[in-house]
Amino acid sequence: MLFGLLCLTFAISHVMPGDPARLAAGPDANESMVRTLRAKYGLDRPLGVQFARYLGGVARGDLGQSLRSRNAVLDDLVRYFPNTFELVTSALLLAVAIGVPLGMLSAVYQNTWIDHVTRVVSVSGVALPAFWLGLMLQLLIALQLGWLPLGGRLGLTAAPPAPITHLLFVDALLRGEWRTFADAAAHAVLPVVTLCFPALASILRVNRAEMLETLRQDYIVTARAQGFSGFRVVTRYALRNAMIPTLAMVGLRYGWMLGGTILVETVFDWPGIGLYAVNSAVSSDFQPIMGVTLLIGLNFMLANLLVDLAYGWLDPRIRRPA
């Protein structure tokens, strides 16, 4: 898989009919300058040789250099990735924390007002453009009401804590810098909510549908007949079974969030890899985009692996070899 991913990024960067050397040289460059650059990056060699060099570079952690920041792409990624990781993880946790209980409630109280409200949420969530939702939240809550900051990661006066894990929240907690933590949290609310909303909608939807399905099963009726309390039946018996498809959706949505974070980071000026990729793409800075693509692909693969492991934990039948 990983090899396939490398082939894909290589194909996009080297085989597509764009010319990275011309892009790098800028619009005013003459033919000889482009040729020099092409030779410098080895772009005049046969594709097989280029691919071998590319693989070798990636294996050594060399993802090329950003033309805009003049840094090695890997260094930039290391700097920006923790921010994205915090944003996406918080949004995903929030989506699960709200989506699963809400889906459960709306299945248990089907066709009541709870159910109607959650259905409106789930239908709107998938259709709302995340970037527009972010802008409107900024407009209402940050600009009109002034409750929360407009964007960025920290206020201008706050200094980030000395890095331990490079995750701002964790570091602020570990260092006991409560003011920094609160500041970071205030900055995170709007982006996290924006990113969370579409995922929340689809998790809610799947969980509701699955709960409705499981609540109709014979073993639920049996459990109820045996006199187990309604709460216990719903949480222990039904929810656990409904969680497997829900979890598949969580895995899928994680991937979507890694894409959506590009938009949300752009709106909120959040210094993560999404914003980095957009800024690079706008200025035709090529290597960073490939680095981000590779990193996000890798992340998504890892997430799918975790989901598969979680299946086994939830469902003993999957653990046993068939």
Partner 1 sequence: MSARVLALERRQADASVAREWRRYVRAYTRSASSMAGLVIVIIFVVVTAIGPWIVPYPEDARGAVHLERKLQPPSATHWFGTDEVGNDVYTRVILGARVSLEIGLIITVVAAFIGVPLGLVAGHVGGRVGETIMRVTDVFLSVPALVLALAVVGALGPGIVNAMVALSLVWWPGYVRLVQAKTLALGQETFVEAARANGAGRLRIVRVHLLPNTFSPIVVKASMDMGAAILAAASLGFIGLGAQPPYPEWGAMISHGRNYLPTWWWYSAFPGLAIYFTVLGFNLVGDGLRDLLDPKSRG
Q: Which residues pair with 72 in a beta bridge?
A: 65
Mark the segment that binds partner 1 (CB under 8 A) among 16-24, 85-93, 160-168, 186-194.
16-24
Q: What is the rounded CA–CA span in Å between residue 230 and residue 227?
A: 9
Binding mask 256-295 for partner 1 (x = CB under 8 A): x-xxx-xx--xx---------xx-xxx-x-x--xx-xx--
Contact indicator for 152, 187 with CB cutoff of 8 Å:
yes
Question: 154 or 263, CB closer to partner 1?
Answer: 263
User: Which of 114, 135, 186, 318 forms a contact with partner 1 (CB under 8 A)?
Assistant: 135
Number of residues that bind partner 1 (CB under 8 A): 58
Residue 255, Ramachandran bin (φ over 0: left; ψ between -120 and 50: alpha; else beta)? alpha
127 is a contact residue toward partner 1 (CB under 8 A): yes
Q: What is the rounded CA–CA span in Å between residue 91 and residue 279?
A: 23
Q: Give residues with Cβ within 8 angstroms of 308, minimum separation 6.
A: none
Q: What is the rounded CA–CA span in Å between residue 179 and residue 181?
A: 5
Q: Which residues pair with 65 in a beta bridge?
A: 72
Q: What is the rounded CA–CA span in Å between residue 10 and residue 185?
A: 38
Site for partner 1 in 168-207 (CB under 8 A): 205-206
User: Which of 124, 165, 217, 222 forms a contact with partner 1 (CB under 8 A)?
Assistant: 124
Residues at the contact surface with partner 1, assessed by CB under 8 A: 1, 4-5, 7-9, 12-13, 16-18, 20, 23, 123-124, 126-132, 135-136, 138-139, 143-144, 205-206, 209-210, 245, 249, 255-256, 258-260, 262-263, 266-267, 277-278, 280-282, 284, 286, 289-290, 292-293, 296-297, 300-301
